[in-house]
Amino acid sequence: MRKIISGLGIISGIVCAAGASAESVTLTGDFPAAYREASFLTRMAIDRFDGGDGPALSIALERALSGNGGAAHFAVMSMARRSGMGPVDADGVLSGVVSTEVNENRDVQKREECAEKVDNKCTKKQQVEIICRKRTIDVIADLRIVRARDRSVAYSSRKSRHDEVTWCPNASAPGAVEGTIRGMIDSVAAETAREIAPYTERYVLRFYENRTGMPKDISNEFKAAIRLTQQNLPEACRAFAAIDTALPGQVSVTYDLGICAEARGDYAEAMALYQRAAAIRPRDRADFDAGIDRTQRLIVARNDERERQRRR
């Protein structure tokens, strides 16, 4: 109750990023849900959510899990509209409780104002108190998914949202409370959907261009290969491989070969190349570690999809 107190495989394609620099490539990959066991469910029933804003969260979850007009991971049904059918029709039931608290209080602030003027210039200032208003809104949602077959818990999470605004005399009052709460509810629903369903994401990778330590002829070949990535990525990757054979152990070439492997969907090879690049130059681990983590998650998503197909 509301309380108010006053590629290939998983990679689907390789395209040049609009407006991207010549050393970038945009990939599309499928990533696993944070709560993988919940993602193996296929038919999700949205049960009632207790609390004054519970019905709003139920509807927001229906919308978010139905894909918002895009491809949906779950077949979503609302138990409130199921004409008495029991949860046996679903393999997962999502339920919970929402508590909302709104507080509005006086907020005394000090401001500096001009006390005396001479020739239209302020010669003396003073501190004055003004009475403002402060409004805080807190939404806490407890959610869980129970498997229909054995009543075990596949997902459990608490999500909180906080909004605070202060306005003083001669300033516009904030927007309506209900609108702010609806935005917070939609945010909770979107975060929940992201946690329990795999998702597809486009991301940009930048090729390493550093040619330090390369002989002039190979340096020129590498520079040409970098330029070629925007016109013919497979051919550029073959050029990187030839350079790696002629001059192994170059961190830029190794990392860029990792991008090539990732682009064609060979995530295990990409991860190995990113690990090799990190071993060559451990002081520059940010991109390497990001690549290792990303390819690990791409591998998990691919394996999860195979497991889902096996269970069907």
Average pLDDT across the chain, whole number: 87
Specify the pLDDT at position 5. Answer: 39
pLDDT at 7: 36
Q: Token pair of 136, please?
A: 């805080």
Q: What is the pTM of this model?
A: 0.75
**136 falls in which pLDDT band (50, 70, 90)?**
very high
Q: Where are the domains of the chain?
A: 33-103+133-197, 209-311
CATH class of residue range 209-311: mainly alpha
User: Where does the pLDDT of residue 110 fall: very low under 50, low under 70, confident under 90, or very high at 90 and above?
Assistant: confident
Could you give the CA distance from residue 104 to residue 98 in angstroms, rounded to a whole number? 20
Which range has highest mean pLDDT (73-82, 168-177, 223-232)?
A: 223-232
Q: For the domain with range 33-103+133-197, which CATH number is right: 1.10.101.10, 3.40.50.2300, 3.40.50.720, 3.40.50.10610?
A: 3.40.50.10610
- Lowest average pLDDT, out of 118-132, 146-160, 175-189, goes to 118-132
Over range 132-157, report the average pLDDT. 95
Cα separation, 109 vs 235, in Å, equals 65
Q: Which residues pair with 277 in a beta bridge?
A: none
Query: Which pLDDT does position 309 carry in this prediction?
Result: 86
DSSP string, 186-198: HHHHHHHHHHHS-
Whether the predicted pLDDT of 268 surpasses 90: yes
Residues 285-311 pLDDT 10s = 888 999 999 999 999 999 999 988 887
